[in-house]
Amino acid sequence: MPQIIPTAEPFFFPGDPGKPACLLIHGFTGTPKEMRELGEFLNGRGFTCLGIRLTGHATAPEDMIRSRYTDWIASVEDGYHFLRGVSDRIFFCGLSMGGVLALLTSTRLAATGVIAMSAPFQLPFNYPVWLLRLLSAFKRYAPKGSAAPGSGWFDQAAYRDHVSYSQNPIRSAAELQKLLANMRATLPDAQAPVLLIHSKDDDYVPADNLEKIRAALVNAAKTETLLVSGSGHVVTRDAARRQVFEAALQFIQRVEENA
């Protein structure tokens, strides 16, 4: 079995069995570590929290290249069924691609609510799947952006402590495109309450993605949005994280009060 990068392990924090459980889903090339502080915060308020590791992540980029978007969905489904042994009320909380997975799987599994943070509706480059698969035969990795690494972070100490793959596997980007197409097709089927959180200063996934997702959630019980400032893409670890954590907590509490 591949060795997990130190500090990037999955986590499980048991809480009050009378309260809902939270399934925390990290992003593309990311690790459970980017969700751990949110998990600790919610667990401190009594909620059971499970931070899963998506297939091919938190080990080596070669493992991610071998994984497919269906494997990532299966990782979420495994975490959900594990939590069903703790509670029948489960909130899906995802960052970036984790938010995409949260929205998509909430249409397949009984979700009490969904919190999607920094989630893309589509990729900025939006290359077709066939082209990405062709390119991946000649070049395995692409830079995450044209700017210097870490330049989009407001909390530089958090960036230095962050763990993720340093480049995007091009073959995996093709899988992400397929996952996004599946999410867009199923957004009208989403019925659980949804909270969308995005940073105005996200230069990786622009904030207009939030409105595109919100507009497609035509059958959700309710849709709330929050735009924060002073944070980059990884809102669960950057400078505005406490605002994000409080918003997530208050959303869960509101949904529970109205249940």
Task: List the chain domain ranges.
Answer: 11-257
* Residue pLDDT, tens place only, 147-191: 788 889 999 999 999 999 999 999 999 999 999 999 999 999 999
Residue with tokens 């692409």: 142
Contact 223, 217 (CB under 8 A): yes
What SS3 state is found at 168? strand
Cα–Cα distance measured from residue 224 to residue 220, given in angstroms and rounded to the nearest whole number: 10
Residue 205 CB contacts under 8 Å (≥ 6 apart), including other chains: 96, 118, 119, 120, 124, 198, 233
Predicted model pTM: 0.97
Q: How confident is the model at residue 4 (pLDDT cuts 50, 70, 90)?
A: very high
Residue 23 in this model has a pLDDT that exceeds 60:
yes
Architecture in CATH of 11-257: 3-Layer(aba) Sandwich (3.40)
Looking only at Cα atoms, what is the longest distance across the chain?
54
Contact 131, 62 (CB under 8 A): no
Both ends of the chain: CA-CA distance in Å? 42
